């Protein structure tokens, strides 16, 4: 794709870019909404990426093109403090604003992106755009930051510019993902605890419910508030030593049911259960126990549906269908939820047939054409100078 974007850039601007970065989307394998609770997540970078080509220019006016839809948007560097509704360059402008807060200057440029990540589906197309922009800026404007800080800059865009109080998972996975590996992340220490080889002969199928997933307009932020409220009460009334739901076990939580409001209790139950399931998955994978791994994915979805209520009927239908197709070991919603994608663990040589059966059954039940992808696990973000 890098060569392709260079050619398209030359055609559009009449000159070659100086650098091209590439940042992958991500899949949350398990560990739903645990990242902003100091918790654990098993994730991976995917083969689908966003490439960002850049050429520094004089002045204050930046020009950005998206070669996927042909759009071209200009903005003035002296007037980017507020996002414009529906403008995809918000993620680029947000990066510039977040970098300014860290005394790092992005000057004017001509830029372009070419992405293969499905939009607004739950594979973190926005984080990939942020990180690809960040790595391109780093290369041409000599900005040096530790890798985890780049993830924080991207998170800052979501939190401060876009108004979504998300955690670090998406940007972190886009940077630290490794080819053919799952990464076991600890969001208290903000590190990759270990990388895990994906079991041989199995694949993840991504099935999009096609229900629009726009987290900014969803209840995402409310769930985060509920988590914080649960911690506050548990800390005050019973466990002074805790600072996050990471420090709470299912047993501790169940013992405290009567001091929490029911909705906060259920939200916390999901998070605490997810943290425990991530650890169980890591153990199961260490023993190549794919059956247990798959079962835990189903348990995760059930908890999303019942406790955290971030599923929707269409996603539940996809999960129910998965249980009727032989060869599926487990499935769950992946990412923020409230629409978007589900992931399905299948045998690799049956994955294509699985996609066809799943799509046909989903169409029959909902009238909706789902999109499926047999997922490959890609490398983390990179940037290269263009040699002309």
Q: Return residues touching ligand GLA (CB under 6 A).
A: 28, 32-33, 35-36, 166-167, 169-170, 335-336
For 90, 105, 163, 386, the CA distances from 54, given in Å and listed in that order, are 17, 15, 27, 10
Minimum distance between the CB of residue 90 and ligand GLA, rounded to whole angstroms? 15
Q: DSSP secondary structure string, 237-274?
A: HT-TT-SSGGG--HHHHHTTGGGS-HHHHHHHHHHHHH
Q: SS3 for 289?
A: coil
Name, in order, each residue with C-beta under 8 angstroms of 379's C-beta and a sequence gap of 6 or more. Answer: 24, 45, 177, 178, 179
Residues with catalytic roles: 170
Minimum distance between the CB of residue 354 and ligand GLA, rounded to whole angstroms? 25
Tally the residues of the chain: 388
Minimum distance between the CB of residue 340 and ligand GLA, rounded to whole angstroms? 9
Q: SS3 for 295?
A: helix
Minimum distance between the CB of residue 36 and ligand GLA, rounded to whole angstroms? 6
Output 269 or 386, the one with its CB closest to ligand GLA: 269
Q: What is the 3-state secondary structure (H, E, C) of 129-150?
A: HHHHHHHHHHHHCCCCCCHHHH
Name, in order, each residue with C-beta under 8 angstroms of 202's C-beta and a sequence gap of 6 or more. Answer: 290, 329, 345, 346, 347, 348
On whether the CB atoms of residues 76 and 61 are closer than 8 A, the answer is yes
Output 63 or 130, the one with its CB closest to ligand GLA: 130
Q: DSSP secondary structure string, 65-98?
A: EETTTTEEEEEETTS-SS--TT-TTHHHHHHHHH
Output 215 or 383, the one with its CB closest to ligand GLA: 215
On whether the CB atoms of residues 153 and 102 are closer than 8 A, the answer is yes
Minimum distance between the CB of residue 162 and ligand GLA, rounded to whole angstroms? 10
Using DSSP bridges, classify how beta strands 40-56 and 191-197 pair: parallel, antiparallel or unpaired.
Answer: unpaired
Q: For residue 63, what are its two tokens?
A: 């020009």
Output 30 or 329, the one with its CB closest to ligand GLA: 30
Minimum distance between the CB of residue 171 and ligand GLA, rounded to whole angstroms? 8
Name, in order, each residue with C-beta under 8 angstroms of 378's C-beta and a sequence gap of 6 or more. Answer: 24, 44, 45, 46, 47, 48, 49, 177, 179
Task: Report the helix count and the strand count for the chain, using DSSP H and E.
Answer: 11, 12
On whether the CB atoms of residues 254 and 238 are closer than 8 A, the answer is no
Output 32 or 256, the one with its CB closest to ligand GLA: 32
Output 32 or 50, the one with its CB closest to ligand GLA: 32
Minimum distance between the CB of residue 367 and ligand GLA, rounded to whole angstroms? 28
Residue among 259, 258, 261 nearest 236 (CA): 259
Output 111 or 134, the one with its CB closest to ligand GLA: 134
């Amino acid at each position: 794709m890098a060569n392709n974007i260079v050619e398209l850039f030359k055609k559009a601007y009449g000159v070659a870019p100086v650098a091209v970065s590439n940042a992958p989307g991500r899949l949350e394998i398990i560990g739903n909404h645990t990242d902003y609770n100091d918790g654990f997540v098993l994730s991976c970078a995917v083969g689908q990426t966003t490439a960002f080509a850049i050429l520094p220019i004089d002045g204050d006016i930046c020009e950005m093109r998206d070669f996927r839809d042909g759009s071209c948007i200009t903005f003035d560097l002296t007037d980017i403090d507020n996002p414009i509704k529906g403008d995809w360059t918000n993620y680029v402008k947000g990066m510039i604003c977040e970098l300014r807060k860290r005394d790092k200057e992005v000057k004017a440029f001509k830029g372009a992106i070419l992405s293969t990540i499905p939009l607004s589906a739950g594979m973190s197309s926005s984080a990939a755009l942020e990180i690809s922009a960040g790595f391109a800026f780093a290369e041409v404007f000599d900005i040096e930051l530790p890798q985890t800080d780049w993830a924080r800059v991207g998170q800052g865009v979501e939190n401060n510019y876009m108004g979504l109080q998300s955690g670090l998972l998406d940007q972190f996975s886009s940077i630290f993902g490794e080819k053919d590996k799952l990464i076991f992340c600890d969001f208290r220490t903000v590190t990759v605890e270990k990388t895990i080889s994906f079991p041989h002969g199995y694949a993840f199928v991504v099935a999009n419910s096609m229900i629009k997933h726009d987290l900014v307009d969803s209840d995402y932020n409310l769930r985060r508030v509920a988590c914080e409220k649960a911690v506050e009460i548990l800390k005050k009334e019973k466990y002074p030593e805790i600072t996050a739901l990471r420090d709470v076990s299912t047993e501790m939580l169940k013992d405290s049911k009567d001091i929490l409001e029911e909705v906060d209790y259920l939200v916390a139950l999901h998070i605490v259960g997810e943290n425990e399931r991530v650890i169980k998955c890591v153990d199961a994978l260490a023993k190549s126990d794919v059956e247990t791994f798959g079962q835990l994915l189903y348990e995760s979805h059930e908890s999303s549906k019942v406790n955290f209520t971030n599923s929707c009927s269409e996603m539940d239908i996809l999960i129910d269908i998965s249980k009727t197709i032989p060869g599926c070991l487990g499935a769950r919603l992946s990412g923020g939820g409230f629409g978007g994608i589900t992931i399905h663990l299948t045998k690799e040589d049956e994955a294509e047939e699985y996609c066809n059966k799943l799509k046909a059954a989903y169409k029959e039940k909902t009238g909706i054409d789902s999109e499926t992808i047999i997922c490959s696990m890609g490398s983390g973000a990179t940037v290269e100078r263009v040699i002309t």
